[in-house]
């Protein structure tokens, strides 16, 4: 299976996927840590893909999304964005809306706390 096939299968078989450096329990870069931390804090169940473990996937995900950086968040097969976009969406409430639209379970009170802390 090609890297593109593996990526496509991963994003279509999981409601929420984070392609990141490291894992959700052991991020290996600050940007990946930030996005995984937001998702973990909000209680979102998500698949994590450690791009450092597979160079083909690391390069392939950039081509798949036409986005040059990692981490990359996908919800229901759609590319959402990287660290800056996910951070902005969290603070604005857009991430809550996206999760609600797609039936993704998350802790609304935790999301509100993130916004309060960044107000």
- To the question of whether residue 83 is assigned a binding role by annotation, the answer is no
Can you tell me whether residue 80 is helix, strand or coil?
strand
Q: How far is CA 58 from CA 3, 48, 65, 102, 110, in A?
A: 9, 13, 12, 27, 31
Q: How many helices and strands, by DSSP H and E, does the chain display?
A: 6, 4
Tell me the binding residues for [2Fe-2S] cluster. 29
Tell me the binding residues. 29
């Amino acid at each position: 299976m090609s890297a593109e096939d593996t990526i496509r299968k991963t994003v279509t078989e999981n409601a929420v996927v984070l392609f990141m450096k490291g894992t959700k329990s052991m991020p290996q870069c600050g940007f990946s840590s930030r996005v995984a931390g937001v998702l973990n804090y909000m209680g979102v169940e998500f698949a994590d893909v450690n791009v450092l473990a597979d160079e083909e996937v690391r390069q392939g995900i950039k081509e798949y999304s036409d986005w040059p950086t990692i981490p990359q968040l996908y919800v229901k097969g759609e590319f959402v964005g990287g660290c800056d976009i996910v951070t902005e969406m969290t603070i604005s409430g857009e991430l809550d809306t996206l999760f609600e639209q797609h039936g993704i379970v998350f802790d609304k009170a935790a999301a509100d706390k993130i916004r309060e802390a960044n107000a």
